[in-house]
C-alpha cells in the first residue's frame, strides 16, 4: 500500500506556485507528492549496491553520484573493464520530470531505464538473471522484497520498480530562483535577474522551460551551425538511426547545472561560460558578449536547489551462496 506524504502545506505551496509563475516559462519544483516509503528505501539500497554489476564495483551511484549533482563529472562514464562509454551521463536529479529517459528517449520512464545499465556490457555488464541470483542469495533482500511486494520470488520488474521509486524522491526544490518565482524578490541579485531576462529574450526558454527547465522535448544540436562532436560520441549521436536525425537529443534539464559539468551529450564543454557561448551560436545564431554571458551564467547558478538528504543505506551482507564478482582488470 502506498503511504502518501502529500500534506496541506504542499497543496498550498503547489497552488501558490501555479499563481506566482503563471506568466513565466519556468515553474518552481514541487516536492514529491506521493512515495511508497518502503519501496523507496529498498530502491535506495539497490541504487547503491555494486553487487548488481559483474565486477562487484559499479552501482547506479557510480555514474549518477548523488554527492556530485547526480552525475559523475567526467565527459563519458567508465564502465566494466574500464570501458569508456560513448555518451555523457545525464543527471538523475529531477529525472522523474523528464518526458523520457536517456539522451535518445529510448526508455519511457524511470522503471524502464533502471534495468538498462545492469545488463549493458559496457556499463554494469551483468545480466538480469545473474543480478536476481545475487539478490535471491541474500536473505535480508529476500525478506525486504517480500515485505514490500508481498511475494517471495524476486523479479527484475520489482527491482526496477523499487529503484525508480527511490529516484522519484531525488527532486531539488527551493532553489533561489524558485524562491524568486514564489515572490521573494530579494532572492536574486540584479545581475541574476538580468541574466534571466536575457535567457528569455534570447529564446533559450523555447527548449528550456517547465519545472525541470528542460527534459520535456527533443531537439537537434546544431540548428544554426553544425555541431562537431567527439569521435567517441559519433555512434550515439542520433535518436532513430537515420542520418537526418543525427544530433537529436532530449533537451537536458538545467536544474543544478552548475554541478553537472562537463556539458552536452559528449561532455565537450567544461564550463558554463563555454556552454552558453556554444549554445548561443549553434542554437540561436547569437554571439553573447562577455557581460551577457556572465549574466546568463549567474542566472543558471540560481537553479541549484536543495540536494537530496538521506542516510546512506547499510547493505545486507552476502552469504556463502552469493556469486562472487569478477574483478575487472585494465
Angle at 46 between CA 41 and CA 51, to 5 degrees: 150
Angle at 311 between CA 314 and CA 164, to 5 degrees: 80
Whether the Cβ atoms of residue 302 and residue 174 lie closer than 8 Å to each other? no
Q: Which of 276-292 are b and which e, b meaning 16 or more Cβ less than 10 Å from the residue's Cβ?
A: bbbbbebbeebebeeeb
Interatomic CA distance for residues 235 and 95, integer angstroms? 24
List all residues 6 or more positions away from 67 whose beta carbon is below 8 Å from its beta carbon.
Answer: none
Angle at 130 between CA 127 and CA 131, to 5 degrees: 85
From the CB of residue 157, how many other CB atoms can be counted at a distance below 10 Å? 12
Residue 216 DSSP label: S
From the CB of residue 314, how many other CB atoms can be counted at a distance below 10 Å? 9
Interatomic CA distance for residues 198 and 296, integer angstroms? 7
Interatomic CA distance for residues 147 and 39, integer angstroms? 9
Residue 127: all three cell numbers together: 545480466
Which residue of the set 123, 144, 158, 167 is catalytic? 123
291 is catalytic: no
Q: Which of 164, 172, 171, 146 is nearest to 43 (CA)?
A: 164
Residue 75: all three cell numbers together: 565527459
Residue 201: which H helix or E strand, with range?
A: helix 190-201
Interatomic CA distance for residues 6 and 288, integer angstroms? 43
From the CB of residue 55, how many other CB atoms can be counted at a distance below 10 Å? 19
Question: Would you name the residues annotated as active-site residues?
Answer: 123
Amino acid at each position: 500500500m502506498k503511504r502518501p506524504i502529500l500534506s496541506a502545506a504542499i497543496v498550498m505551496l503547489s497552488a501558490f506556485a501555479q499563481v506566482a509563475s503563471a506568466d513565466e516559462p519556468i515553474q518552481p519544483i514541487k516536492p514529491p507528492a506521493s512515495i511508497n516509503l518502503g519501496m523507496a528505501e529498498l530502491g535506495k539500497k539497490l541504487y547503491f549496491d555494486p553487487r548488481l554489476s559483474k565486477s562487484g564495483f559499479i552501482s547506479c551511484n557510480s555514474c549518477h553520484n548523488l554527492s556530485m549533482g547526480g552525475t559523475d563529472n567526467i565527459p563519458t562514464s567508465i564502465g566494466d573493464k574500464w570501458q569508456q562509454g560513448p555518451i555523457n551521463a545525464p543527471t538523475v536529479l529531477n529525472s522523474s520530470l523528464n518526458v523520457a529517459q536517456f539522451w535518445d528517449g529510448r526508455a519511457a520512464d524511470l522503471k524502464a531505464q533502471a534495468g538498462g545499465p545492469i545488463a549493458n556490457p559496457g556499463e554494469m555488464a551483468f545480466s538480469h538473471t545473474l543480478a536476481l541470483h545475487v539478490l535471491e542469495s541474500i536473505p535480508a533482500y529476500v525478506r525486504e522484497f517480500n515485505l514490500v511486494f508481498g511475494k517471495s520470488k524476486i523479479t527484475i520488474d520489482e527491482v526496477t520498480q523499487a529503484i525508480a521509486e527511490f529516484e522519484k524522491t531525488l527532486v531539488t526544490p527551493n532553489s533561489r530562483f524558485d524562491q524568486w518565482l514564489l515572490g521573494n524578490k530579494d532572492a536574486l541579485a540584479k545581475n541574476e535577474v538580468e541574466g534571466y531576462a536575457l535567457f528569455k529574450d534570447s529564446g533559450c526558454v523555447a527548449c528550456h522551460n517547465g519545472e525541470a527547465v528542460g527534459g520535456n522535448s527533443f531537439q537537434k544540436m546544431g540548428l544554426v551551425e553544425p555541431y562537431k562532436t567527439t569521435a567517441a560520441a559519433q555512434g550515439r549521436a542520433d535518436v532513430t538511426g537515420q542520418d537526418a536525425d543525427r544530433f537529436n537529443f532530449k533537451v537536458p534539464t538545467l536544474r543544478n547545472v552548475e554541478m553537472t559539468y562537463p556539458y552536452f551529450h559528449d561532455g565537450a564543454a567544461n564550463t558554463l561560460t563555454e556552454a552558453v557561448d556554444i549554445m548561443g551560436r549553434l542554437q540561436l545564431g547569437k554571439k553573447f558578449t562577455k557581460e551577457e554571458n556572465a549574466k546568463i551564467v549567474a542566472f543558471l547558478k540560481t537553479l541549484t536547489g536543495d540536494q537530496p538528504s538521506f542516510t546512506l543505506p547499510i547493505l545486507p551482507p552476502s552469504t556463502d551462496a552469493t556469486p562472487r564478482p569478477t574483478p575487472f582488470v585494465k
